Structures are given as structure tokens and as C-alpha cells.
A and B are shown apart, each in its own frame.
Chain A
Amino acid sequence: MSSQGNDTSSANAPPHDDRESIPRLLITPPSLTPTSILPPSISQPTLAVNLENVSNGIIKAIDYSNSTPDQLLSSGPKLSVVSSESSEYGVRSPISQEEYENLTDHFTDEYDDNDNTEDNEELQNLISDIIRYEHSHSINLDHNNKLMSESSYLDFNIFPNHDSITDELEYYNKYIKLSKTNNEEEFHDKLKHFFIFSMAGKPIYSFNGADELVMGYAGILTTIISTFEENINEEIKSITVGDNLKIVAINRNPLVLVSISSISYELMSFSKNDVGLEIPDDTEQEIKDTDNDHTLRNNQDLILINQLNTLYNYLLSILSKPVIEKNFMNRMNYDLRRILTSLDFDNIDALCMRLSYGLPITEEIENNLLDTSSFDFFISELLDSSIQSIKITNTTRTRLNKILLASKKLKVKQQQISSTETGSTAGTISSYFPSVGGSTLVEEKFLGDDLLFSLLATSHNNKILSYMKPKNHSLSNDDLKLLLNVIHSSQNSLDYTEDLWIPLCLPNFNPNGFLYVFVKQINLSDYFKSGIVVQPLTIILISSNKNSFYQMQEISNYIIYMIIKDEAVLNTLAQELINSSRLSIIKDINVPSIKHFIYKSKKCNQFIMNDLIHFNNDRSMNSLLQLVYFYSVLHNTKAVKIKSRLKSTYNQSTSSNNQTSSSSSFQNKKLTYAKWTLQDNSVTGFMLADNEYEFYCLSNSSIKSNDLINHSLKIIKWCEKNQKRLFFGSGVVF
């Protein structure tokens, strides 16, 4: 099998050199010649990777703290070199720490009423330096007001393109689109592969290629992996072929998961470790670096490892660990596919496509208004499993939280329960939470004894409105995503409502057991006579008892009743849902030069971003792939660290307590600036992070540095101010 494969592929591929030994057996697409896959091109991003590419001149932007945004926009702030006396705010300050503190203290006092000014200053300096440096190297920036839609994802050399295909769809069909055929050439063309094998080398899943085709590779890959483990006693992690191809494997005995990628943004070394890390001072940092050498090396494979873990977690969620192990225990040669359904394979296909490209699996990829849930998923994975909420007022969220909490505490008289036919099935055992006996009447019991978690989410895009959890447990974001994903995939688009009862293992919560998920959709539109169309909501109730369906159903009825019973409340909720689906932050807060942004709250590990449509006036594959690439680069590039004073209020309190505290009063800020320049067009990317947030945005390159920073800070400030509306936080606790 494998030797046949080689014959065919080498016939198509250009002659190979010394690298043939291992990798050629695995994958030899014609496009992967030993020569560089990414030719030196105009579109390689200029990255603010370190300060070396920042010129020495300290540049200070105009102080605009007293001017209105409008003035700024019309006047177009200019860069100007400032004299050395202001250089204490610059990056390469020659002055001592103490002096610095004094100066900044003074500075803070002076601008006490505008806590962003200080940040602005420093950022301005830094970014201006970077931009000025770059300016001398790049083409004319001034006539760049074109829409980005004129550029194609192919212009950015995101993917290897050796036959120089210029048609976006043609490229997609050849290199990206899922193909399950037995055609070897088609198989080798694909940029991304995922495989799941059993330890015995039996294929369970392959992203591309028919079974017969994959069989040979399964044997080779599992042999390599097990040879390494037996001989070197070390788990194999990755094989890198030049700069252009990486093979990553994880061993989850009895399963092996493998990913092969030649996608540029997945091969970048990954600096995730770096973002948000508290760095005390330089000497300690050095020690840390050597300690982390090993982990840092592994981090280079982290993108692909995370993807494989997501696939593995999916398998766990539907089967659970003991079921997988039990089946293989008796027969090493067991075929796991026997207990998987076609829905499972569809779900894994969709996951692979989302993880790699942020694209949906759809026949209508030409559609300019694609469903963006796959893109949402990609960004969520990129941002360390951060999840999205939906913008509603804090009052409404609190009200919904209270309803969930009240439903957990519903009591029901024992007699009533036994009078219904379901009563006898209701187990009273609740190992997790013994009923809190406030008024323990003998005949009363809690309807929600077995209820662990409750969620209210939008049905179409799985955004969470409200969340209830027990005191001692919580669901990880990975588990939540998995849950929402499975629910979404099992909901048929129906004209009627059905209640689902889904056994699901949430691997981070407990990989060894199942929880039981009650799912019901509320079609809010049904409750309006006026014909208002509101997106439906989904009630998700997670129980520890497999026989508690009818109790969960009662609880859901109560939740629905509480939501709809007060017309004013219902109207408010509907209006807020409608508004949030039309949310246009960029317009609302007047930052026209920023085309797209992401704001992530680190505390909640939740994020918000604006609609894809604002980037390019469409939601096409082209725009989507560009964003996937830009944000991957911004996120995975090592950021420049800058030190910034904490906001004045914190400052005052710390300095009154302890004058000598030095590094603790600094907030670590980091930034990345990237620019992709095409002949007639370019894109500027900007990342700013501190201990509270990560902010990413994209703009066209004509943006002035002042605007970029000013507008970014404006969005950040808006997000901070609206924190409670944008994020559901840690939910309500019972």
C-alpha cells in the first residue's frame, strides 16, 4: 500500500533531495518542494517582534487629550520628533527607576481626570517609532483608502501556492476543501490532514482521503510513534520538515491522533506562553527562560496539539474514557467506528475545518454571507478557548440569572410528584449536593436536586446569556464549547419544539462519566402578537441523574414561564436581543478607521468581536481566511513588552501604603504591530495586551499612528465600561 503511494506521488512531485527518508512516506504534495514554500514576497508582514527594528529617535505624538476626536480625524495628526527632555516616556529611557517613578507620578497627577492619556503617550511613542521605521522602507502610504475587498487571500501568501492559482475558489477546491475520495493526488494536495488511529494502526478517522488510501499511512505513522516510544522511551511530539511542513502526534492510548500541516500560520512558533505573563524583572526573567526552554520548544507545536486535543475531547464527550478503554481492552484490533455515528464523523469533519481555517463545511462556499460560527470557533480556539457572550444589559442578565437560580430551588410536594406517572422514576439520590434544609418539610423535595448547571444561550450562534453553576464546580470553557457544539449539531431545524435528552461526557469536568443534558428551545417570537422576530433561545440544563428528564422538563417550563409572564420584561429581552444582533460597535463609538477588532477579558476568559461584515462588507471565504491569518499572526507573534503605570487610583493607594514597591505597581503591557503590504493595498494589525485584556484590531494602512492608538483605546475603554453587558462573567452560583 505505502510503496504504491510513493510511486504515484513521486511521479507527480518534483525530484526530492535528502529529506526523503521519513517525510516523503507521509506526505509529498507536489507543492512541497524542498525549496522555500514561502517565497520572499511583498506581503510578508513587518512585525514588531522586538525593539531592534525601532529607530533610536524618540518620537512623540501630539497631545490630543484636549481635542475632540473629530478634530483629530480632520487634522490628521502628524508625527514629530520631540526633544530629549521628554524621552523619559520613551522606550529606551536612560534614567533610573526612581527618577522615572517621580516623573510618572507627576505625570499621573497632572492628567488625573484622563486615565488613558498616559497609556496613549507611551503607546504613541512606541508605535510611532515602529511606523516611522517602516515608513522609509515601504511604498507610498497616502493613497491607500481602497477597500480591502480588492485583495484576495491568495495575495497574502498564507498558503503555499506553487502553481500560482489566482482564482480563490479554484485554490480552495484543490488545497482546502474536504475530499474523501480515493484519489492519491487529490489527497496529497491538501494542506491539512487529521488522522485518528488506534494504537494497533487501525484508521478511525481521516480528514481527507478514502479508507484504502489512509490505511497505509496509518500503519507507517503508528509504527514510527511506537518505535520511538519503545526505543527512546519518549513520546514523539512532532516532526518538522524544513520550514514548510509539520507533523504533530499525540498519544492518548489506545488512540493516536496526528495532524499534518503546511499552513503558514500554524507553523509559526507560538508565543502564547508570553502573553499575560507577569514578568518581575530582567534577572529573574533570564532564569525563567532557561527553565522553560523545554516547554518553550514544545510550545511551537501547541497550535496543532491543541487542535488534536479538541478532537480527542470530542470523542471523549460522546464515548467517555472508560468506554473507549473498555472496548480496546479486550481486542486491540477493535474498530471504534462501530460505535460512532455518521453525525460524529460530520462533527469531527466540521471541527477540523473550523480549527484549521475557520471555515464552515458547506457546499455554498461561494456565498458572500457565510455562517460565521466556524470563524467564531476559530477565534475562540486562538484566544485560549475564550468564549463569546451576547450583549444584554446587566439588569436583564441579572434577571435571567435569578430565574435560573430560582428554578434550581423549586420545591415540589412529594404527593404531587407521586401522583404523576413520572414520579416513581425520580431518584432522590444526589451524591453531589444534599438538599440544603432550610424549611425541610417531609413531603417537600427539590425538583432540581440533580441539576448541576443551567445555561441560557442563543440558538443560532451559541452565545451564552446566562449561566448557573454550583459553588464547588464549574465547567471549563473547553467543556462549554464542546457542549454547545454537540447541542448545535443535534438540533434539527424544526417547525416545532422538541426536548432533547443527551448523555454527554464533559472531559474536563469528569472524563470517566456522563452528565445528562436537557435541551429545549424557546421561540420567543411565538409570544408576540405583533410579529416581532427574535432569535430563539436555548435552555440547557445539565443533570447528574439519567432518570431526571421529567424534573428538568418541569424546571424548563418554569424558566419559560418566568421569562414570558411579564410582557414588559419579555419586550426588553427581545429588544436587547435584536439590538445585540445589530450591534455595530465601530459605528456606535465612531472609530471608522478600524475595520475589525477583538477584545478579550482575561479575567472571564470571554471575548467580543464585531461582525465580520465590517471588515470587507461581506462574510465571504476570502475575508474569513484573511482574518484568520491576520489574527493568527498577531496572536502568535512575540509581543513587545512595555511598562506602564497602573491607573492613578491604584497608584495612590499603593504609594501611600508602601513607597518602595516598585515592580508591583507596573502593569505589564505588550503590543504587536504588523503590516501586510501589497502593491496597491495593505492591512495594519495591532495587538495590545495587559493584565486585564487582550485587544486585537485590523485597519487599512492609511491609518495614522495616533488614530490607531486613539481608536483602539476608545474601543478598549468602551469594552471596559460595558464589561457587565458584554460578558456573563462567572455566572450565578448556588
Chain B
Amino acid sequence: MAEDLPNLKLVILGESSVGKTALVHRFITNKFDSQTTNTIGAAFITKTYHSQKDPQRRLKLEIWDTAGQERYRSLTPMYYRNAKVALVCFDLSNFDDTFKTAKFWIDQLQLNSSSNAEDVINIRLIGNKFDLIESSTEVDTVEIQKKIDEFIISFNTHNNTNIRYNHTSAKTGSGIQELFDEIIDDIEDDFFTEFQNRTTSTTEGQIGSILDARMNGAPSSTCC
């Protein structure tokens, strides 16, 4: 069995084709596949990770990579329920359309956020496909940055939140590791210390006890 680590649930939201799955693939395998297919429903991926600054901050990330299509929206609350971190993605090379959806998700998350300080979801706005606008002359990057900044400042002041912005490129890999390091570094120390305390008191995990209970049910004939 894997080592006992604290779990951190992270959900990735955003319009379809902004590169959510590619971002996850880059983070997990450090590879980029331009042929990534549309996600149907959602995919659940786990990865053990620690911050580059502090190897003691080690945890198991549980990532929900969700489908961007509107037709799957009714399922989404299940994915962000209990999530600690939400990455709300948009496509920098298709800013207007995808940023609108990003704002929609941020509003949704805010509406559903709990008043309990412990359950507050940490939202990060992610501008993906940075490689496409980096050296582009057609896209007004300054204008885009201005719009993003304005939105974040206004949202944060109105809702007393702390949304932050990262730009990434799943294709080149730029900004991905930095993003996840920041996420881990942002977590309060309590999260790790509390886990330490809890594991010492309860020894058995859930699966273990189920399996123990069912152990003797295995058939074992060998004929035929």
C-alpha cells in the first residue's frame, strides 16, 4: 500500500478545448500530446507531489479533470464539492469566449462556497496556451492582461477573496510546475500538522477494513 499522505482535492474547470486535460498530462507525465481527445464527463487522477521549496510538504493530489462542454455542467458540483483548490482555465489565444466561461465558473464556486473558513476553496485563474500569444503580433497581450487584472481586483474586493492568476503553456510546459508549487506552498501549515495528528490516532484506512472484512469470500477452485 502507498504511504500515508494527506489528500488534497483539486478540480479543473473551464470552457472546452482550453487545454485542461493537456495541462494535467503535462503535470503528471511532463509530456504534451496534441491529439488529446475531448474529456467525456470527468477523469480522476492522483499524484504524489511535494513542493520544490519544502520536501516536507508532501501530499497526494486528487485531481478532477472535468469536461468543458455545457452538456456536462449538471455533474460539475460533485467535482468541486470538498475541493480545496480550483483551477479555472481559459485559453489566452481565444480570450473573449473562454474568459466568459471562466468568470461563470468563478461565480458558481463563489455561490457555493461555504461560510466555514476551513472549507473555503482556493481559486486560481489559469490562462493557458501562453505559447500561442507569447510572440504573436495579432493578440494584444497588454489589453488581455489588463482585463484579467481588472476582473481579479474587482472580484476580490467585492467578495473578499484571494483569487490569483497564473499563465501556463501545457505545450511548452512553462508555468506548470511553478503553479503546482505555489498551490502547495500556499497551504496552511495546519493542513499538514492536523493530518499527522489524525494518522497517529486512527491506524486503519477505509479500504483496508473493507478488504479485511471480505477476505474469506474468495473462490479458489482450479479445475477446468
User: With a CB–CB cut-off of 8 A, which chain B residues contact A492?
Assistant: 21, 25, 33, 36-37
Interface string of A556-595 (1 = CB under 8 A from B): 0110011001100100000000000000000000000000
User: With a CB–CB cut-off of 8 A, which chain B residues contact A557?
Assistant: 207
Q: Contact check, A412 vs B210: say whether CB atoms are below 8 A apart.
A: yes
User: With a CB–CB cut-off of 8 A, which chain B residues contact A148?
Assistant: none
Specify which of B36, B40, B81, B219 is in contact with A399 (CB 8 Å cutoff). B219
A93 sits at the interface (CB 8 A)? no
Q: Contact check, B40 vs A486: say whether CB atoms are below 8 A apart.
A: yes
Tell me whether A502 and B40 are in contact in the complex, defined as CB-CB below 8 angstroms, given that A339-B69, A492-B21, A496-B45 are known contacts. Answer: yes
Closest residue of B by beta carbon distance from A342: B38
Q: Contact check, B206 vs A554: say whether CB atoms are below 8 A apart.
A: yes
Tell me whether A501 and B217 are in contact in the complex, defined as CB-CB below 8 angstroms, given that A425-B81, A492-B21 are known contacts. Answer: no
A444 to chain B, nearest CB (A): 10
CA distance A398 to B43 in the complex (A): 31
A500 sits at the interface (CB 8 A)? yes
Closest residue of B by beta carbon distance from A339: B71
CA distance A319 to B40 in the complex (A): 12
Which chain B residues numbered 204 to 224 have a C-beta less than 8 Å away from chain A? 206-207, 209-211, 213-214, 217-224
Closest residue of B by beta carbon distance from A343: B38
A299 sits at the interface (CB 8 A)? no
Q: Contact check, A500 vs B224: say whether CB atoms are below 8 A apart.
A: no
User: With a CB–CB cut-off of 8 A, which chain B residues contact A546?
Assistant: 74-75, 78
User: With a CB–CB cut-off of 8 A, which chain B residues contact A566?
Assistant: 218, 220
B72 sits at the interface (CB 8 A)? yes
User: With a CB–CB cut-off of 8 A, which chain B residues contact A447?
Assistant: 210
Specify which of B31, B43, B47 is in contact with A499 (CB 8 Å cutoff). B43
Interface string of B181-224 (1 = CB under 8 A from A): 00000000000000000000000001101110110011111111
User: With a CB–CB cut-off of 8 A, which chain A residues contact B206?
Assistant: 412, 416, 419-420, 554
Interface string of A238-274 (1 = CB under 8 A from B): 0000000000000000000000000000000000000
Closest residue of A by beta carbon distance from B28: A496
B51 sits at the interface (CB 8 A)? no
Q: Contact check, B219 vs A343: say whether CB atoms are below 8 A apart.
A: no
A339 to chain B, nearest CB (A): 5
Specify which of B16, B33, B81, B218 is in contact with A341 (CB 8 Å cutoff). B16
Q: Contact check, B78 vs A490: say whether CB atoms are below 8 A apart.
A: no
Q: Contact check, A498 vs B210: say whether CB atoms are below 8 A apart.
A: no
Tell me whether A503 and B72 are in contact in the complex, defined as CB-CB below 8 angstroms, given that A492-B33, A553-B44, A569-B220 are known contacts. Answer: yes
B13 to chain A, nearest CB (A): 15
User: With a CB–CB cut-off of 8 A, which chain B residues contact A503?
Assistant: 40-41, 72, 75
Closest residue of B by beta carbon distance from A320: B71
CA distance A569 to B221 in the complex (A): 10
CA distance A516 to B222 in the complex (A): 35
Specify which of B31, B75, B82, B217 is in contact with A422 (CB 8 Å cutoff). B82
CA distance A549 to B62 in the complex (A): 13
User: With a CB–CB cut-off of 8 A, which chain B residues contact A554?
Assistant: 206-207, 210
Q: Contact check, B44 vs A410: say whether CB atoms are below 8 A apart.
A: no
Closest residue of B by beta carbon distance from A420: B206
User: With a CB–CB cut-off of 8 A, which chain B residues contact A410?
Assistant: 210, 214
A395 sits at the interface (CB 8 A)? yes
CA distance A402 to B220 in the complex (A): 10
B70 sits at the interface (CB 8 A)? yes
A394 sits at the interface (CB 8 A)? yes
User: With a CB–CB cut-off of 8 A, which chain A residues contact B136?
Assistant: none
A393 sits at the interface (CB 8 A)? yes
Q: Contact check, A416 vs B209: say whether CB atoms are below 8 A apart.
A: yes
A495 sits at the interface (CB 8 A)? yes
Closest residue of A by beta carbon distance from B70: A339
Closest residue of A by beta carbon distance from B41: A502
Tell me whether A395 and B210 are in contact in the complex, defined as CB-CB below 8 angstroms, given that A341-B38, A490-B39 are known contacts. Answer: no
B42 sits at the interface (CB 8 A)? yes
A421 sits at the interface (CB 8 A)? yes
B29 sits at the interface (CB 8 A)? yes
Q: Contact check, B78 vs A406: say whether CB atoms are below 8 A apart.
A: no
User: With a CB–CB cut-off of 8 A, which chain A residues contact B224?
Assistant: 393-395, 724
B108 to chain A, nearest CB (A): 17
A367 sits at the interface (CB 8 A)? no
Closest residue of A by beta carbon distance from B35: A492
A323 sits at the interface (CB 8 A)? yes
Closest residue of B by beta carbon distance from A500: B43
Interface string of A380-411 (1 = CB under 8 A from B): 00000000000001110011001100100011
CA distance A497 to B45 in the complex (A): 7
CA distance A558 to B70 in the complex (A): 34
B53 to chain A, nearest CB (A): 25
Given A406-B218, A492-B33, A494-B29, 13 new contacts (CB under 8 A): A318-B40, A319-B71, A339-B69, A339-B71, A416-B206, A422-B82, A490-B37, A498-B43, A498-B44, A500-B42, A517-B41, A554-B206, A566-B218
A-B contact pairs, 17 of them (CB 8 A): A339-B71, A346-B37, A395-B221, A395-B224, A399-B219, A416-B206, A420-B206, A492-B25, A498-B44, A498-B45, A502-B41, A503-B41, A546-B74, A553-B44, A558-B210, A558-B211, A569-B220
